[in-house]
Structure 1
């Protein structure tokens, strides 16, 4: 009798499970409009090159004048470069080199950043594009994403100007506010101005006029997107220091090349054209390295 009861109980359980399975299927089918969101595609690059070995020795000899006059041991040390301090070599690495000769000192720096998106709905490439755009905007170059912020800054400056007009010393305060309004629309990292170019042999043509092709700009033929910035500053009290920066994105990696020169004589202005050409040439070689 007990055996019969156990059999009946077993049958009841089987029926119950079947019923539950049917209910589960109905619950899933009750949401026909719900779709499963597929994870965004990962970036093309999972690792980064060794930065201090990314530039060929022959290229370093061209970029670092004076190293060919060093002893063999000194040359080897100069070409080894100095690795940047980083806490995650899978995400970011860099290397720098420096040379000096009687005419000037030059420095070279490269940086590789592998961007990873931790949002499953955003791909690594899309996230890298956002990071790159911020760098381009910080360089003062036109970017669609920068337009709203620039407009807001201009409006804020205009409001300050109106408030200044209500002050007791209206003329002085209005002038200061006008200067602030013009500053927010100026180049964040400006290159050689027309006035500077007139005294800079590298930034002028044979006629001595300003060469607009040497101004900071977006580059169309380098990686997925790229820009060049050119900044001339004073180092110390007299020496003039020029830094050319080329930044490009290839898939989910952002590469930065900085090439700088500081002449020994304060009246000498670093050649903008030469620095830009060499920085771009190196950037193109690095693009090819990522394509290997």
Structure 2
């Protein structure tokens, strides 16, 4: 009997000790659980902004360029092909695909046809721009590439706007233009269109008239997101003149370049800006519609 009472006396401290240990472990686990929750919350809060990336570009692939131009359009752009034998004519309309590293990123095609009076060449270049900077969207990167092309062509990115109305006459408070600038401004119309009977007038003086006819290199409206047109006339030796019209436009993350060229066999006859620009712009509109399909 005394041993049983003694055993009970020894058990009570053990039970108290076990209870204290259980409470301590419970508090410790609670503290660890609370700390873990706080850490996860902090990680999620930091990961939130990083997870929101810029949206990708609209286009993931590119269409096949050589088959994108209808044959009726090619007949109009390459008049010299009509006189070729059937095999050569078919080959001229088929075009030659450009060699590129990745056809999902860049494609191109070219056509050409010669005639006794002139030679015509058409070139397409289509590029899909991808940004490798997570903070820059594909569209923004494509705009940077496009802006570089337009700047290299010497065409302002935005149309120049006058700082003051042109109708009021200059007053004493407005300084007159410098003599050299005034002379240059008034000299352009006289050199652009020489008198009909003037001797020594040649073909190369014709392009000087383009800045006053609305055919000068310029930005275009109503074509893609942004667009511009470039027009250059050059000599190709003692007996030839070449005009190259380029229409470049951007739609989302795709940049399309249309180059239409005519080379005249006679140096005194310059290819028409009106005709070449109209044909190049019509083809560019057709390709822009193709991108919307």
The TM-score, its normalising length taken from structure 2, stands at 0.71
1:126 aligns with 2:127: no
**Equivalent position of 1:27 in the other structure:** 39
In the TM superposition, 1:124-203 aligns within 5 A as 124-143=138-157, 195=191
State the match for 1:79 in structure 2: 93
CA distance in 2, matches of 1:120, 1:209: 44
Distance 1:260 1:25 in 2: 69
CA contact (8 A) 1:197 1:210 kept: no
Tell me if 1:66 matches 2:67: no
For 2:290 and 2:236, the matched residues in 1 are separated by: 34
> Could you say what secondary structure the match of 2:258 adopts?
strand
Tell me, what secondary structure is at the counterpart of 2:135? coil
Q: Would the alpha carbon gap of residues 24 and 81 (structure 1) be closer, same or farther in structure 2, given more than 3 Å must change? A: same
Q: Secondary structure at the match of 1:99?
A: strand
Decide whether aligned partners of structure 1 residues 26 and 262 sit closer, same or farther in structure 2, where only a CA change above 3 A counts.
Answer: same
Structure-2 change in CA distance of 1:28 and 1:66 (3 Å) = same
Of stretches 49-58 and 64-73 in structure 1, the one that deviates more from structure 2 is 64-73
Structure 2: 5+ residue runs without aligned partners?
A: 1-20, 159-187, 195-201
Moved over 2 A (4+): 11-22, 27-35, 192-201, 208-212
Max radius of gyration: which structure? 2
Gapped regions of structure 1 (runs ≥ 5): 1-8, 145-191
Question: CA offset at residue 15 of structure 1?
Answer: 7.6
Q: Distance in 2 between matches of 1:227 and 1:197?
A: 26
Query: 1:1-292 alignment to 2 at 5 Å?
Result: 19-29=31-41, 34=46, 35-37=48-50, 38-143=52-157, 195=191, 211-292=212-293
Secondary structure of the equivalent of 1:66?
helix
Task: Note the C-alpha offset of 1:72.
Answer: 2.1
Instruction: Output one character per residue of 1:13-62: Cα deviation in whole Å (capped at 9) or x when no partner.
Output: 99866644421322354589855131111111110010111111110000
* TM norm structure 1: 0.71
The alignment yields a C-alpha RMSD, in angstroms, of 3.3
1:132/1:254 contact within 8 Å kept: yes
Count matched residues. Answer: 235
Q: How far 1:85 moved relative to its partner?
A: 1.4
Distance in 2, matches of 1:245 and 1:209, equals 15
CA contact (8 A) 1:110 1:258 kept: yes
Residues 1:120 and 1:74: Cα distance change in structure 2 (over 3 Å): same
Report the CA distance shift for 1:16/1:137 in structure 2 as closer, same or farther (over 3 A). farther
Q: Distance in 2 between matches of 1:288 and 1:255?
A: 12
